[in-house]
Structure 1
């Protein structure tokens, strides 16, 4: 059997480059044997109590970054996802949204949750740019997992994209995890109204250790991808943001303090002015 492949599925396991360096790491990241349950299946359908090992979340190429996740971590992760979905349902209760508006609201709620709660983890990487197995061993979990993003509130690109993917799947939004090899990176695609768009919450947060957003931003939110000729309409994003804010959703850092701008008086053609400086109060409005 090829290294890194499960005997019960054709799921490809991408082991950390240094997984052989310690017997304890091998025990954590070793090839799956016996009965396992996929994390996505456990999140969507419930955790199988008879199973102790859970295989990681595959990207569009069928590769997983974290081959084995403990039952305790999967249970905590599922509880977090269920609660996020419940909070969203409570927020929009009684609203009359179209199918596309509802999908947009879900994706925006998920994205905002990630920006508000997740910081970029300070981790040890291997030479090929993947999270070191030693780092996961020292922490007791891998920062390249949805568990790290949603439960520990710190992660790297793979964990952030897995968290968004699992939240989308649980909340019935079509989504994917897209990996990039050089340099190693992962982001998401989501489908709204039959069109695929790109999400990259990691770049939105920042890729320096400890990076954290302090307000909503849509620089990498629902951007054009593949056969999508344009970004998702920014005016619709702004409108949905206002709608959700009106419902009580907190967009981190809002409201901002007004910025007072003093404009010089108008000067007539003779170089004289009979008006006082005009003072305008403006607030930043990000879409």
Structure 2
């Protein structure tokens, strides 16, 4: 597993790509039987690590031997999102607390209004409620901890949405390429032009999916449900974040590649490969399925 040049990536169809850069080869393998290719005995530590590769590739784009395990798989709390995402998430939480929560929740919301967002925001709000409001620590501290997890989960949804590829620029370049090829009589009716004709109406799907998932995450924070037990809401936000991560992992490299296209000078074979790649990604129906929020 520590062979030089070895790495793992996902291919356009979702399979696990095993990269051997020293030989310029890319092998797509079934992860269930990949241990045989590496001569790894079933049940060993390397065998178990190999089975974690598909899950890890939902968090990162490329895995090489010796890379640390993503914290997401270790059940660690990921690093706190950037302050502006945390601010937006806590602002939404404060509005909801003030409108729907009980006495403790409203007191916590009022205290949070006076404290800048950050890692100590909830602790400071709890301290204010205990010292100034006379609330019991045994009531306020568990409530604040649960709400902090919810705010962090929503902030990570906002961060995942902000980290999406530049879909709009990819769509614009694809349309420009189609127009350029269509204006050239030599290529007006060839297979590549027809493929681009089929691709242009679909290419907005990942952007619209990301926008819809983000809208669902924001709407979930506004639904009138009791926040004293937000476990279901936290799980819901985590699912939205995972969906957004899946989208970005599958589209980031391809979107970047389309931005490097010049319709007048880029080799047609490269454009053909990018178009084929995009069509394969768009064929992954579950990636764009919009699930109805829980009642």
Between Structure 1 and Structure 2, whose CA radius of gyration is higher? Answer: 2
TM-score normalised by the chain length of structure 1: 0.23
More helix by proportion, 1 or 2?
Answer: 2
TM-score, with structure 2 as normaliser: 0.23
Work out which structure has the larger RCO, using CA pairs closer than 8 Å and 6 or more positions apart in sequence: 2
